[in-house]
Amino acid sequence: MKPFLKKTKQIILPLLLLMFIINSCSTDEITTVEEPTGKTENTGSMLRTTVSASSSVIIQAENYDNMSGVQTENTQDSGGGQNVGWIDTDDYLEYDLNVSTSGSYKIEFRVASRTNTSKFNFFQDGTKLSNVNKASTGGWQNWVTTAKTVTLSSGNSTLKLLATGSGWNINWIKITPVDVDSGGGGTGSLDPNKAPSENFDLSTWKITLSSGSEKSVSELNNGYELSNQFYTGSDGGMVFKNYPLGSGTTTNSTYSRVEFREMLRGTNTSISTSGINGNNWVFSSSNSTNENKAGGVDGILEGTLKVNRVTTTSGSTSQVGRIIIGQIHASGDEPLRLYYHKQPGHSKGAIYFAHEPNGGDEVFENMIGNYVTETGDSAGDYTGAGSPSNGIALNETFSYKVQVNGNTLSVTLYNSGGSTIASTTYNMSNSNFANDWMYFKAGLYSGNKTVSSSSDYEQVTFYSLSKSHN
């Protein structure tokens, strides 16, 4: 028995010593690593996730550093583990980050809801980055991914999700660099070998093609490309190309396009395309019933692009060289059509927008150049003006920001360095859109339906495209 007792002591004593050491350690000394997508480490009393400029990181929703009001449960989503649920308005989740490099990042959220819209704002420290309004997925464990592209600042900070609606679950958060200078002089992670949906967040867009046919949200986000019409360029940009002569059109339009249409419902086809519902948004001047029914309230559309080519043939001097690069569309009218227009022989193009009120006369507003008549029977007609000295040349990078806040429409243009080159606001109080439904459009909508050559085409390349709603 003595050898047995000695052997037992040899086993038990080290075990007791190990238990003593474990119980004596602070959890602050424990470091955990999440592979292969990124590192999560316990520093002090906080979990801080490293956000890299070169690879994605996934944060499991239940691994919050601070929260209010939520609970966790086992998830049926792929990968297993837990999700966060029991979320009510004003509940929040906080995640401590270490962002290695400032820049543009795509943040994806894995959410589910039985009947309600998944609604929350998200912040980096005190700065609001954007918001999520994802329509019901039809079940507490029917999971979908929604994404927003935002700018993150480098250094230690806190990512906060603040619920603006109740009755939804979240499983994980994924952060991916989109346009980040990692120190090698590059322009970001736009990959010329990837489809547009792999470089850009297209989870709430569908596309209309030159033929007039459409590709759904699901089809577009399944790596869709179409040679010589919609594809990734050699620099990683998202190319829209259209040959107007002989192209098809859609109902209620006589112009062709290769253009996105916003679909807030994502892949949830149980929600109708039209109407005040989870697929469309309303102005904050709308009544509270409509605001609660809509997929969003007010909105911001931002794009960075180059206009590579415009048409040079036409039976109309007002149409030649004219395209639309962004829109707000209502049920029947268009609160905004943003134009780029360059006449043949001009070295630079003009930018202006049209506002079509509900039940009133269309008006135009020149922003760069004085290309069009703004009001009256000839509104939108070319004035005969020369090449604008402060205009935008073909293949010159510029950006636009369209914002609606109640009845106020704001349009701002930026040069490649980010400086404002033109800005204007328009009062829509008398435009009768308060209780109408809206959606954004972006890409290339032709402004020339009298092209005379089958080889004449128009082309734009986007390098960023994002939108958000309250």
Q: What b/e string do you get for 113-136 counting C-beta neighbours within 10 Å, with b at 16 or more?
A: beeebbbbbbbbeeeebbbbbbbb
Residue 10 has pLDDT above 60, yes or no: no
Distance CA 263, CA 441 (A): 10
Among residues 368, 372, 379, 318, the alpha carbon closest in space to that of 343 is found at 318
Contact 301, 462 (CB under 8 A): no
CA gap 248, 251 in Å, rounded: 10
How many distinct helices (H) and strands (E) make up the chain?
4, 30
Q: Element (H or E) spanning 290, and its range?
A: helix 288-293
Structure tokens at 229: 């019409």
CA dihedral 212, 217, 221, 225 (to 10 degrees): 0
The neighbour count for residue 393, using CB atoms within 10 Å, is: 14
DSSP for 160-181 reads EEEESS-S-EEEEEEEEEEE--
Half-sphere exposure (CA, 13 Å, Cβ side) for 293? 16
Please tell me the predicted confidence (pLDDT) of residue 429. 95
pLDDT, mean over the chain: 88
CB contact at 8 A, 453 and 331: no
Mean pLDDT value across residues 184-202: 77
Q: 451 burial class (0-12, 13-18, 19+ CB within 10 angstroms)?
A: buried
Task: Assess whether pLDDT exceeds 60 at residue 241.
Answer: yes
Three-class DSSP category at 272: coil
Each residue's pLDDT tens digit, 323-344: 999 999 999 999 999 999 999 9
pLDDT of residue 211: 94
Contact 445, 329 (CB under 8 A): no
Task: For residue 7, give every residue at least 6 positions away whose Cβ sits within 8 Å of its Cβ, in sequence order, or none.
Answer: none
Structure confidence by residue, pLDDT tens digits, 358-391 = 988 999 999 999 999 999 999 999 999 999 999 9
Confidence of residue 188 (pLDDT cuts 50, 70, 90): low
Q: Is pLDDT larger for residue 361 or for residue 2?
A: 361
CA distances from 15 to 11, 30, 254, 393 (A): 7, 20, 81, 75
Question: Would you say 320 and 314 are in contact if contact means Cβ atoms under 8 Å apart?
Answer: yes
Better-scored residue on pLDDT, 6 or 362: 362
Q: How confident is the model at residue 179 (pLDDT cuts 50, 70, 90)?
A: low
Length of the chain: 470
Q: What is the dihedral of CA 271, 277, 279, 280, to 10 degrees?
A: 160
pLDDT in tens, 406-464: 999 999 999 998 899 999 999 999 999 999 999 999 999 999 999 999 999 999 999 99
pLDDT one-digit tens code per residue, 194-239: 999 999 989 899 999 999 999 999 999 999 999 999 999 999 999 9
Q: Do the beta carbons of residue 259 and residue 247 sit within 8 Å? A: no
**Peptide bond between residue 388 and the one before it cis (omega within 30 degrees of 0):** no
- SS3 readout for 318-357: CCCCEEEEEEEECCCCCCEEEEEECCCCCCCEEEEEEECC
Which residue shows structure tokens 């270490």? Answer: 98
> Phi and psi of 25, rounded to 5°?
-80, 145
What is the tens place of the pLDDT at every residue in 62-103?
Answer: 999 999 999 999 999 988 999 999 999 999 999 999 999 998
Q: pLDDT for 118-141, tens place per residue?
A: 899 999 999 999 988 888 888 999
Listed residue (329, 356, 337, 196) closest to 273, CA to CA: 329
Bridge-partner residues for 341, per DSSP? 322, 350
The Cβ of residue 361 has, within 10 Å, a number of other Cβ atoms equal to 11
pLDDT reported for residue 46: 54
* DSSP code for 392: B
Residue 27: predicted pLDDT: 35
> Beta strand pairing status for 169-179 and 238-242?
unpaired
For the entire predicted model, the pTM comes to: 0.74
CB 464 within 8 Å of CB 303: yes
- Cα distance between residue 64 and residue 54, in whole Å: 24
pLDDT at 68: 96
More confident site: 235 or 19 = 235
Rounded average pLDDT over 348-354? 98
**Residue 212 and residue 250 in contact, taking contact as beta carbons nearer than 8 Å:** yes
Copy the structure tokens of residue 275: 């109407």
At residue 268, the pLDDT reads 87
Q: How many CB atoms lie within 10 A of CB 365?
A: 17
